[in-house]
Amino acid sequence: MKTRIFTDGACSGNPGPGGWAAIILLPNDRQQITGFEEETTNNRMELKAAVESLKLALSLGQKKVDIYSDSAYVVNAVKNKWLKKWGENGWKTVSREDVKNKDLWLQLVNLLEKSRDINFIKIKGHSGDKHNEAVDKLAKREIELARVEAW
């Protein structure tokens, strides 16, 4: 049975304070993880959610994973083989600019090498999927919690 992961990232301003979240649906369990960064971007938070959730799933022995994300940035980088192209081009884009978030992309590449059965699936955000809605709320809550703690 495949583990299903739902991820999301949020940012208040772009850049600005950001949160990320994931719900991991294991065969016999459900886990959620969240995190916060003080100064970040929405794309970075989307990617961070994917990296951290996949790290956890793999550490729990899960090798068959479907990751659902509403981030075209994350899903397309994997499905359209941008990661491979970036690596071959010395982590430069086709316009010869440095790839943003290289540190997280390299972590993701390393994680993807641990299993041949990891799939990224693009889902439409804010379309009523209960897990996507839940991770959206959790990611935004991380930002709000940081604001409260700052007071």
Residue 110 forms part of a structural domain: no
Residue 145 forms part of a structural domain: yes
Task: Give me the chain's average pLDDT, please.
Answer: 95
Mean pLDDT to the nearest integer, 134-149: 91
Token pair, residue 123, equals 């889902």
Confidence (pLDDT) at 147: 77
Measure the N-to-C terminal CA separation of the chain; round to a whole number of Å: 45
Q: What is the pTM of this model?
A: 0.95
Catalytic residue among 46, 52, 131, 142: 46
For the cut 90, the answer to whether the pLDDT of residue 1 exceeds it is no
pLDDT band of 4, cuts 50, 70, 90: very high
Strand order in the sheet with 117-122: 29-40, 16-26, 3-11, 64-69, 117-122
pLDDT tens sequence across 46-100? 999 999 999 999 999 999 999 999 999 999 999 999 999 999 999 999 899 999 9
Catalytic residue among 97, 126, 128, 149: 126
Residue 24 forms part of a structural domain: yes
pLDDT tens sequence across 14-57? 999 999 999 999 999 999 999 999 999 999 999 999 999 999 99
Residue 66 forms part of a structural domain: yes
Catalytic residue among 9, 19, 131, 142: 9
Total domains present in the chain? 1
Q: Which amino acid is at 44?
A: R
Range of the domain at 46: 3-76+116-150
pLDDT band of 2, cuts 50, 70, 90: very high
Residue 106 forms part of a structural domain: no
Q: Clarify whether 98 is annotated catalytic.
A: no
Confidence (pLDDT) at 148: 76
CATH number at residue 52: 3.30.420.10
Residue 111 forms part of a structural domain: no
Q: Clarify whether 8 is annotated catalytic.
A: yes
Q: Clarify whether 70 is annotated catalytic.
A: yes
Catalytic residue among 19, 37, 52, 70: 70
Calpha distance 32→49 (Å, rounded): 11
Residue 99 CA: distances (Å) to CA of 16, 90, 91, 125: 20, 9, 6, 25
Residue 146 forms part of a structural domain: yes
Residue 108 forms part of a structural domain: no
The Cβ of residue 102 has, within 10 Å, a number of other Cβ atoms equal to 12
Catalytic residue among 8, 37, 52, 142: 8
Calpha distance 91→102 (Å, rounded): 7
